[in-house]
Chains A and B, each alone.
Chain A
């Protein structure tokens, strides 16, 4: 069983004339088979945590550790992290003009699996994964995310998740921008990915509606750049009812 450990993580970004600390000491351990939800107000640093795990160059880790099965993730390049089994479904997936989705998916699968998948099997696999997510097969010929609607982009992220089968997936607001049906389809996709009971999920969201479909084991409240409280699914309901006031008032920090 895999483990992703985040220990006292501090992350800064460069701003005019200096740096600004966004993450102020994040502690979090996720084991394979577990799903952790992170909820927190806008600007509290949730996406920053997601990007720091993936290794985005804009986010500088000033102290702390990220370990995947005890191995230092921070010394790996972005692509090494992905090949080691980490995946980030982005809040704002990037458009890559000129590169077809088919080509991109195959390159990614080749990199992550260490060898090019057999063409005939691969075409079948992609077709099946797309149909599971109600994605029109014509999308493989379009350029990566180019001109896709917000919801279409989110489906593509989950499509990649289902093809790349990482050890741990960070889903950054994968539910936002989805209509009711899309939310169900996408949630089913994530649940299929969880099915084997080996993979871990860190699910960043503002809404409990996705938690109706994807039941978390643990809910964390994120505020001021760190986890301020953790609990069971009932914590999400409390947040939905009362908001984050209890966690963002100066006294509570």
Chain B
């Protein structure tokens, strides 16, 4: 669906301004590959109202980029560098906001990684362009039918990056995918993840947000045929001053598909901010859908803020189940006192609480090598934050 911006309800609502929430139905979300189809947002739009515009280093309005990120892929997959005219580009989805469209309109080369029953995990390393440089990137990951594959996408380095990650899961295939944001302190990353799930295909996704000054990931899940199953897990840890934003739309447009979303964020320090927006849309055609989404946030210190907006839109009564929940808890002084009163030092007490909090997600990761990779990332983050 490509329309002009003026007709998009959320932008129309924004034009009316008034600072009120221009809540639009996710079913009418405006999408386009072309940046010029989007107006520069005012900041009051539903999908921009949490994002600190001044910290985006120009991404808010820019259409030009200085560079591309460095993308390297470990062995075990077919890797191609293709132009924007490659027929496969766009199979994953269409940008739904101006920054994603700007990156899409600007990239010159995309990396296409094809997994053809790859037994060992394949690592895709995306390295930022360096401090002070603004880059646009494009990566597509695709499986072949009836295969199983495991991929870790690691985002590291410095600088500012806007990019699109397309994930095309072929019919009957299973993809285990971990995407980590392990940026240096200066980094700004506005990314869009487009998941397209084939008939009887399975996606087991984990999104990890640890590093960077500002990270905003907009994820969209679409199903191409019945029997699709998407599990999206997320864990984030925001330190002082960090803005970590996760926006998801799971778009159930075909029958007999499943989605399961569980995101957990821990926050610590002054100005630590997480945003989680979870939209699940069950369209009229999507009978027998089964979906659940949950966001939990753990605020470890005063001065941190977690925003959480789950949203479920159901256009058919013929579903198996649909639910959503969100809760933000505080690690308070009484809990700290209690743990300390049993001999546990303050830093160990915090680690205990954070490990326990993330443990629920880690225990859901069935592949031992992926779980170990993530446990290592959690421990590294705990060491960095000095809890």
Contacts and interface: CB of A to CB of B under 8 A. Distances in A.
A134 to B, nearest CB: 22
A19 interface: no
A77 B353 CA distance: 19
Contacts of A104: 339, 342, 352
A85 to B, nearest CB: 10
Contact of B340 (A79, A97, A100, A143): A79
Given A98-B298, A98-B357, A82 B352 contact: no
Contact of A103 (B338, B352, B360): B352
Nearest to B333: A57
Band of interface residues on A: 20 to 34
A78 B341 contact: yes
B329 A82 contact: no
B342 A99 contact: no
Interface string B337-361: 1111111111011001101110110
Contacts of A144: 338
Contacts of B357: 98
Interface in A73-128: 77-79, 81-83, 87-88, 90, 93-100, 103-104, 107-108, 111-112
A111 B335 contact: no
B339 A57 contact: no
Nearest to A109: B343
B339 A54 contact: no
A30 interface: no
B66 interface: no
A160 interface: yes
B344 A111 contact: yes
A102 to B, nearest CB: 11
A143 B359 CA distance: 12
Contacts of B337: 54, 56-57, 78, 94
A79 B345 contact: yes
B342 A82 contact: yes
B294 to A, nearest CB: 14
B334 interface: yes
Given A98-B298, A98-B356, A99-B356, A82 B335 contact: no
A219 interface: no
A79 B338 contact: no
A104 B348 CA distance: 11
A98 B300 CA distance: 13
A186 interface: no
Contacts of B359: 98
B335 A94 contact: yes
Given A104-B352, A107-B348, A77 B340 contact: yes
Contact of A97 (B329, B334, B344, B348): B329
B243 to A, nearest CB: 24
Contacts of B298: 98
B338 A111 contact: no
A97 B360 CA distance: 12
B343 A111 contact: yes
Interface in A114-167: 143-144, 160, 164
Contacts of B339: 96, 99, 104, 107-108
B355 to A, nearest CB: 8
Contacts of A103: 352, 355-356
A82 B356 contact: no
Contacts of B355: 103
B227 to A, nearest CB: 34
Given A54-B341, A88-B341, A108-B339, 20 more contacts: A57-B333, A77-B346, A79-B343, A79-B345, A82-B341, A90-B338, A93-B338, A96-B353, A98-B356, A98-B357, A99-B352, A103-B355, A104-B342, A107-B342, A107-B344, A107-B348, A111-B345, A112-B342, A160-B342, A164-B343
16 contacts: A57-B333, A78-B341, A82-B341, A83-B343, A87-B341, A90-B338, A96-B339, A99-B356, A104-B342, A107-B339, A107-B348, A108-B343, A111-B342, A111-B344, A111-B348, A144-B338
The 8 closest A-B pairs by CB, nearest first: A111-B343, A108-B342, A82-B343, A94-B338, A78-B340, A112-B343, A98-B356, A99-B356
Interface of A: 54-57, 77-79, 81-83, 87-88, 90, 93-100, 103-104, 107-108, 111-112, 143-144, 160, 164
